[in-house]
Structure 1
Amino acid sequence: MKPFRFQNFEISQQADVFRVGTDGVLLGALSHLDGVKKVLEAGTGTGLISLMLAQRNPELHVTALDINPEAVALANSNFQNSPYRDRLRALQADFKSFSSDSEFDLIISNPPYFEVNESAKDVFARQTIEMDAAVILHRGVGLLRDGGIISLIVPSGQSPGLEHIARQLGLHLIRRINIFGIAGGPVKRNVLEFSKKEIPATEQEFVIEKGPRVYSEQYLEATRDFHVFGNGS
């Protein structure tokens, strides 16, 4: 399978591991990183998001988890072939039972969101068999430092339910990004950021395409340090 080339690193891909996609790129590009040094990624896949975060912030170190041993091996290979190899590690672990002696500044995930179905494609990465966004909130709250953030990208229809769960867990929504696939269309995704610390929430709109197959200025600006546009990647 053809590698996906970014400006500063390359993502090797394989059939049994969820590939590079727009959701992961957006989460890696848009997540809050100010003051972040210790990151936990749940469900790393190829390692894309962890690599993007490491490029954006030279002070952070990432522990990337995945339940799939093939994903862990692939992510570690991608980490080792990057300029950020000393700050990234992938572990085979189930996030539901993962424990740590120290807390994290950021817990980040592009979690599965398809209901369990008969498809055999990317079962753990796409279907809510082992993990979903609610699990990230339930387990993440105990791994997060007091001023830390949980950052997720989810289908927009899931957001109200997740915000309700977060409130029950003592987490506060501090940022919502409404992501439109195309200008004038419906909201397709939300980036949601939660914290134990209550601060006024911010909300913004983000458009991926201003027309069919024409990226918006917003998307180009957000990903300008990563994508190599026009090279066929």
Structure 2
Amino acid sequence: MANSYFQFKQFRVEQDKCAMKVCTDSCVFGAYVDVNSAKRILDIGAGTGLLSLMVAQRSGASIDAVEINPEAQEQAKENFSQSPWADRLMLYPMSLQEYAQETRAIYDVIFSNPPFFLSSLKSENAAKNTAKHTGDLLFEDILTFAQQHLTSQGKLYLLLPPAEAQHFSDLARNHNLYLIETLEVYTRVGGKCIRHIQSYSFAPATAPVVKQLFIREADAVTYTSEVKELLREYYLIF
């Protein structure tokens, strides 16, 4: 059974109310997104608030987070209020579609770990279905919002399984957003690629950069030095 919380070096993520718990690939995503020069950031589908908290730790940006699920909304509010960056974290308890109708905000960085399984079977857990399957939150909605609310030099980041990542990149071109970099995340050295971290901008790349990251060594137990370095400022064990 998953713990009711996950303790990081500078903050705690309570997760008892959320269907989707803290996981390694999400933490890698939160640590990888480039927010060094960002002044305003949007987290689409905040869940526990994990990603917003991770980028708040290493930036001075104002961070808005949108979440549709009532239990997750409550959880994220709690985690934000208990963090050292509560004054820079704002939760909007609504769908992205609703938020798009009421905001005029422009963002330097937009990121999302969205519902992603396009065709796999759904579970009987409704909350987990909302968190993991494209339904209420569609790829097209993310792209339409980004096209309208990213700064001209801004970046959109997505964490998706490989097949869904390819589908998203195909759709993105119709919104004048272009894939510029992919980080392929593998379970272990010699293991399976489970996620792609993609970054998009309005400027097409001649040849999008492709990198690889292995979470664990071939023994499937030991974290790689690259992951240790990436998560050193977050994980208590590093």
Give the TM-score normalised by the residue count of structure 1.
0.92
Moved more, 215-224 or 94-103: 94-103
Kept after mapping to 2: 8 A contact 1:23/1:110: no
Secondary structure, aligned partner of 2:159: strand
Provide the rounded CA distance (Å) in 1 between the counterparts of 2:143 and 2:163: 17
Structure 1: state its 5+ residue gaps: none
Deviation, 1:118, is 4.1
Alpha-carbon offset, residue 220 of structure 1: 0.6
Is this contact kept in 2: 1:150–1:194, CA < 8 A?
yes
What residue in structure 2 maps to residue 144 of structure 1? 150
CA distance in 1, matches of 2:192, 2:215: 12
Please name the residue that 1:38 is paired with. 40
Structure 2 residues not aligned, in runs of 5+: none
Query: Does 214-223 or 11-20 show the bigger shift?
Result: 11-20
Q: Distance in 1 between matches of 2:139 and 2:191?
A: 24
In 1: Cα distance, 2:69 partner to 2:196 partner: 26
Matched residue, 1:130: 136
The answer to whether residue 202 in structure 2 is matched with residue 196 in structure 1 is yes
In structure 2, the partner of 1:206 is 213
Q: Which has the larger share of helix?
A: 2
Aligned length: 229
Aligned residue in 2 for 1:109: 112
- 1:226 is aligned, of 208, 229, 234, to 234
- Distance in 2, Cα, partners of 1:132 & 1:182: 30
Aligned to 1:26: 28
Secondary structure of the residue that 1:98 maps to in structure 2? Answer: helix
- Amino acid across the alignment from 1:117: K
Determine if contact 2:147/2:175 at 8 Å carries over to the other structure: yes
Partner of 1:170: 176
1:215 correspondence with 2:223: yes
- Note the alpha carbon deviations across 1:65-112, whole angstroms, 9 max, x for none: 100122112111111111111110111111123222221111111111
Is structure 2 residue 69 aligned with structure 1 residue 68? Answer: yes
Root-mean-square deviation (CA), in Å? 1.7
C-alpha distance in structure 2 between counterparts of 1:64 and 1:171, whole Å = 22
Decide whether the 8 Å contact of 1:9 with 1:83 is kept in 2: yes
Partner SS state of residue 148, structure 2: coil
* One-letter amino acid matched to 2:113: N
Partner secondary structure for residue 19 of structure 1 = coil
Describe the SS at the equivalent of 1:189. Answer: strand
Pick which of 152-161 and 137-146 moved more: 137-146
Identical positions, percent:
28
Which deviates more, 34-43 or 93-102?
93-102
C-alpha distance in 1 between matches for 2:95 and 2:182: 27
Is residue 160 of structure 1 aligned with residue 166 of structure 2?
yes
Matching of residue 55 in structure 1 with residue 63 in structure 2: no
